[in-house]
Structures are given as C-alpha cells and as structure tokens.
C-alpha cells in the first residue's frame, strides 16, 4: 500500500464517530459525532478541557481503546482503508510503521524491564528493519533528535532512571522510530520545560513539513497559539467538536463561545479560568451546551 502524497487527500479520516465507555455508573458517551481529517504535510490540532474526549478520539484512531470502550457508530479510514475494526494482527502491521502514537502517559510506551534502547528499537525489530547495528544507530540518532543528552549512556538505562520529561521525550523517539506516515501526539509537551516544549513543537512541525500527517492534542491553547505551528484546529467540548477550521482563523476569530472562553482564559487575557465545570458525560443530551456554563 503506497501513501497518496496529495495534500488534498486526508491520510486519516474519522467520520461521525461515537465512542462510549461502559462503567459501573452507566455508559459514558466520551466521543459523539466526531469528524476529523488529518492530511499529509499538515498539523491538525485538537484542543479542549480535561475530559472532553481528546484521548479517546486518538486511541480510537490507533486501535488502542481500552476494553470497556465501544465504537458505537462511525468509521475511521487510513489512506482509504477502513480501519474501524481491524484485528489485532492487522493493527500490528499498521501501528508504529504507518500510524505512530506519542501517548499522554509515556509509561504506556516504555517497558519498565526493557532498556531505553531496546524500547526505541522495538518497532524496528518487530518489522525487521535494518541490521542490529543499523537499528542501534537509528535509536541513538532519534534520542539525540528529541534532545536527550548523552544518548549512548541513556540507551543502556531503564525507564525508572529517567526524569518525567526525559521519559516523555523517549516516548517521542519510540513513536518516530518506524517513520510513520501519521503521528498522533497526545499532550506530548505536558511535563517539559518551556525550552524543551518549543523544541518538541518544532520537531513535530518538521515532521509535518516532511509530508507526514501530524495530529496534535493539547488542552493548552496558549502554547498552541504561541507556537503558531498548527494548520487546522478543532475545539472539543463535552465529547463533541464545537468548532473546526484553519488554526489561524479559529485562534484569531473564534466563533463558538467555548473556543472564545478557552482563549480568554489565556494568560495574555488576564488568566480568567472558564467558570464552572464541564458537564458529567453520563446522561448527557443534546440540550447540554457550553452556553449554560456562562
């Protein structure tokens, strides 16, 4: 399967997606009616408060929803192929090589009893890419690229020997090792200091500029606006996308009250937190809108 290198063609396409979690308190509709297109050469961002459904959308797109989650409706396609309900074996072919994930919790990609080097090389080993020496060289190069000092020493260390910020960057190296066509980055800068944040954002932008499709998830609109790296932006509130468009337009002239409130909560706007809390997703119906919080 060759990738269609046409910016007009989305590589990853999500259509009318509904995902719910089965919990002791009832079914939680975490994602409702989500439509998303992620194109090569572009960075598409999803912003939204905690619990709005960002990670659930990402996990559905890479076939890693937890066992209590169900895709109730909708389709997900990758390069024209329906991947909504692939088998585990089929996912092994795609994951890492075609679609890579930088997970919100880096511990999800790092095996605690495996060295950093072995973890970063894992995807290459599974897909039998290169010789052992070539895989090691690639791992060291990636560790350097994500800003790990002394990669040779870190290569032989274990995850518990890393700081949170380092583990996060190693998880980025892990996700990039297979040179995937789509990179999904779920809050990749959460535990990084400002300098590392900005270098990771530049790295993600470089990946998009190298004709890969990047989906960046963040709750921090400030960071995203200041970085100026996103091409498309979707704002998510209580399981739904409330606004989508060109990132510059949405950031400068948001239409939806929620997007406006997210932007007004920025430090430059005086750090006014959005009043109240997002609604409980249990018993959520169409009458629940963000306006009711204002």
> How many CB atoms are closer than 10 A to CB 24?
4
What's the maximum distance between 2 C-alpha atoms anywhere in the chain? 59
Do residues 239 and 31 make contact, with C-beta atoms less than 8 angstroms apart? yes
Looking at residue 210, the DSSP 8-state letter turns out to be T
Binding piece for ligand ATP, criterion CB under 6 A, among 6-14, 45-53, 153-161, 251-259 = 45-53
55 binds Mg ion (CB under 5 A): yes
What residues between 12 and 41 interact with ligand ATP by CB under 6 A? Answer: 21, 23, 28, 30
| Nearest Cα residue to 186 out of 61, 10, 32, 70 | 61
3-state SS of 123-135? HHHHCCCCCHHHH
Smallest separation (angstroms) from Mg ion to the CB of 55: 3
Smallest separation (angstroms) from ligand ATP to the CB of 70: 11
In terms of CB distance, is 104 or 109 closer to Mg ion? 104
Smallest separation (angstroms) from Mg ion to the CB of 269: 24
For residues 73, 82, 217 and 98, what is the CA-based torsion angle, rounded to 10 degrees?
160
In terms of CB distance, is 143 or 175 closer to Mg ion? 175
120 binds ligand ATP (CB under 6 A): no
Residues 167-206 as x/- pattern, contact with ligand ATP by CB under 6 A:
----------------------------------------
Do residues 265 and 223 make contact, with C-beta atoms less than 8 angstroms apart? no
Residues forming contacts to ligand ATP in the complex (CB under 6 A) are 21, 23, 28, 30, 48, 50-56, 66, 68, 104, 219, 281
């Amino acid at each position: 399967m060759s990738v269609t290198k046409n910016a007009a063609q989305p590589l990853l396409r999500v259509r009318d997606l509904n995902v719910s979690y089965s919990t002791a308190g009832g079914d939680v509709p975490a994602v409702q009616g989500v439509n998303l297109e992620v194109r090569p050469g572009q960075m598409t961002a999803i912003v939204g408060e905690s619990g709005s459904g960002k990670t659930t959308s990402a996990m559905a797109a890479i076939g890693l929803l937890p066992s209590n989650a169900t895709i109730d409706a909708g389709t997900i396609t990758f390069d024209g192929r329906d991947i909504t309900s692939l088998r585990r074996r089929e996912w092994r072919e795609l994951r890492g090589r075609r679609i890579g994930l930088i997970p919100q919790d880096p511990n999800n990609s790092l095996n605690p009893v495996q060295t950093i080097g072995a973890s970063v090389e894992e995807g290459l080993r599974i897909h039998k890419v290169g010789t052992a020496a070539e895989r090691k060289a690639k791992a060291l190069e990636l560790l350097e690229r994500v800003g790990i000092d002394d990669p040779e020493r870190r290569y032989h260390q274990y995850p518990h020997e890393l700081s949170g910020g380092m583990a996060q960057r190693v998880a980025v190296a892990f996700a990039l090792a297979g040179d995937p066509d789509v990179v999904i980055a779920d809050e990749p800068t959460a535990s990084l200091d400002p300098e590392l944040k900005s270098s990771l954002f530049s790295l993600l932008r470089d990946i998009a500029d190298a004709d890969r499709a990047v989906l960046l998830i963040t709750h921090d609109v400030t960071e995203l606006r200041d970085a100026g790296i996103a091409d498309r932006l979707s704002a998510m509130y209580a399981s739904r996308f409330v606004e989508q468009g060109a990132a510059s337009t949405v950031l400068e002239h948001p239409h939806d009250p929620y997007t406006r409130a997210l932007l007004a909560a920025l430090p430059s706007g005086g750090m006014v937190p959005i009043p109240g809390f997002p609604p409980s997703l249990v018993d959520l119906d169409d009458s629940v809108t963000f306006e009711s919080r204002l």
